[in-house]
Structure 1
Amino acid sequence: LDEGNHLLELAAPRRVLLEGGRVVGLECVRNELGEAGADGRRRPVPVAGSEFRLPADSIVLAIGQGPNLAFLEGSGLELDRRGGILTEAGTRRTSAEGVYAGGDVTRGPAIIVQACADGRRAAEAICQELGLGFRAPFGQAAPVEEILPVKRARARRDAPQEPGLLPVAQRGGFDLVQQTLSVEEAQAEARRCLQCATVCNKCVEVCPNRANVSYLVDPVSWRLPLFACQEGQAKVVGLEPFGLEQGRQILHVDDFCNECGNCATFCVHQGRPFADKPRLFLEEAAFCREENNAFYVEGNSLRRREGGREGRVTQEEGRFVLETDEIALHFKPMWQGLGWIIEDVRLVHEFEGTLSLARAAEMVVILKAIEGWTFLRGSGEEPAA
């Protein structure tokens, strides 16, 4: 634009105009923005009768790239209105059995990260189809020494390093208009990286009410007992694996949240942290009104509501007590081991099938992590004199 070029917005070429075998112009049509599509973007729609001509003695086509789908002819794969391969959003399955697709051939031009995500979702769906387990690998947890500089960098707003531009008067040849960064400039630009792969916490940073709280837990790998009713008693009938690999977790304080949606908008995992993360309530009355995913701290106990029913885990000098509608269980977790030491179990109410302790294990991990957070104690607790 600095060089006097004109940019015509919402215009599309129709045909090249020729006279005597030579180019004399380009016929274009004006567009207007139509309705938003599934991705939220409004597509250009030609305006009837808006054709116009641009005089020209030469036309240079900009080099563009697009997927070559000629090999799909006769394949029977269902295509969308843009000519891309139609897939299920969550699994990337196509209309043909055993065929999966992702990337630009399904969504149109996008970033490489989205194509990688498509591949991961397809791999997970394929594993499920084959009856195989699927577990996304987690990288090595970053030490505190790496996290602290990242948090300090996120608290600052450093301007990007803009490359120098060749003066307009010197742009008559083939010299680069946009210059390259110097070594010092490149290093300064690299220091602006927010290291999302080291620590995310995006939902913590974008919450205006500080409703999302980051905390650390000790990763565990347990084999939990499965209980069943036998002869009027709760007896162990099997083992269930329970694992927690990520040491950095998020707790949602529901009392602070107004459901603005910021955390969902900026979540790099396409999640809804205000609804997906464990929701802790500071008011007992608000907690009791919830049906699912509700937690409440009461002294040394953590209460939880799921399906309209409540359970409680209490910590007593390194040991824990689980109280549910079905059983009362006294146990000691082996934090560096493979399971729990069961000290006592009492059947409260008979139940059908097997009873899983996975939710209780989640409560144990959370309760241990927040045991020193006095500001999260319930409102019913009297302050110390």
Structure 2
Amino acid sequence: MSTEKTAESAPVFAERRWFYPSALLHELDLDTDATRSGRRPRRTARDWVVDFCCFLLAVLVGLLGIQSLMDNPAVPHSVVAADQMIGALSCAAIWLRRRWPLGLAAVMTPVSFVSETSGGVAVIALFSLAVHRPFRYVAWVGGVHALLVPLYFWWRPDPELPYLASLVLFTVLLVAVVGWGMFVRSKRQLMLSLRDRARRAETEARLRAEHAQRGAREAIAREMHDVLAHRLTLLSVHAGALEFRPDAPREEIVRAAGVIRESAHEALQDLREIIGVLRTGESEDAGRPQPTLAALDTLVAESRQAGMKVILDQRVPGSAAVPASVGRTAYRIVQEALTNARKHAPGTEVAVSVAGGPGEGLTVSVRNPPPQGDVPPVPGAGQGLIGLTERATLAGGTLEHGRAPDGGFEVRARLPWG
């Protein structure tokens, strides 16, 4: 059952609530005053109609029983009057069959044995018990009825039917009543189970949608950090150099301004791509191609142009053959490590090493020595390294980072290459 179908059928079900029993409406937990307050639900229009029909049926059976007793000259008039009184009270008890089905059925078992006019009430009470209570209660009460049937017809034989025929007829009637009641109960339980399954399906669909949205937001946030942090760090470093060294040679000012302009242009381009993904809902493959391991030389060249000292040791035969996801992860790791080295250890020589091959995996290492002198504090929450660890884990690899023995900092990752 789809959530759309359930949503369409729910209003129809609510509009036709008068057609269903009050007990079923209560079990379905629809928006009713009785459900919210925890009280027993009021009878619906259908309940009143059914109960009134059961009352009329019991009265009709009782009238037939009275006529049978009056036509039997062997029955004293006092017994007929007492039987009529018991039958009248039994018919009035029909209205209690929804509130106390087990109690009514248990009481009517011995009463119907001594009162012929209460037979219809006993059958209706057994049917109500089969509808509202589990089978174990029906088995006990129905079993007692089945044991009393031979004694009843032995005590009060039917003048028009032989003893065996009366036994068979009444036994078939008991089985039919119990079977009908169990069928009604199973149908209601089926409706309850379908309602419960529909609710679970709606909840699971909502949770899946929320999980997908959360995953997409995390991926976009990670991508924005990895892409823009590198560019913005270049802007910050060179803008700071221009601020603190206004008397620098013209060539250095021109070079720094060029790096700022180029970095700002690249940052805007990357931001435009990410916003385009948000608008179109497409994957990260939209827009210009994502960087792979083959673009590592360009990244190092940009860092060197920005004034960093970077040594690249790439020992990967045929870097173009590296899987795109693995190459992109390695590129992002090197990019983030260079950004951190530029912020926290400016002026140091950064060693980048990439090695590996098919079947043995890809090893990426970025290491820088401790900075010389005091380094001004740079704001950061360590989210970049957390994102790199998550990237490596999603790619099936591992990432470690921390202080080196000489006081520097090292980022080391191992990625699978099948």
Identify the structure with the greater strand proportion. 1
What's the TM-score, normalizing by structure 1?
0.22
What's the TM-score, normalizing by structure 2?
0.21
Identify the structure with the greater helix proportion. 2
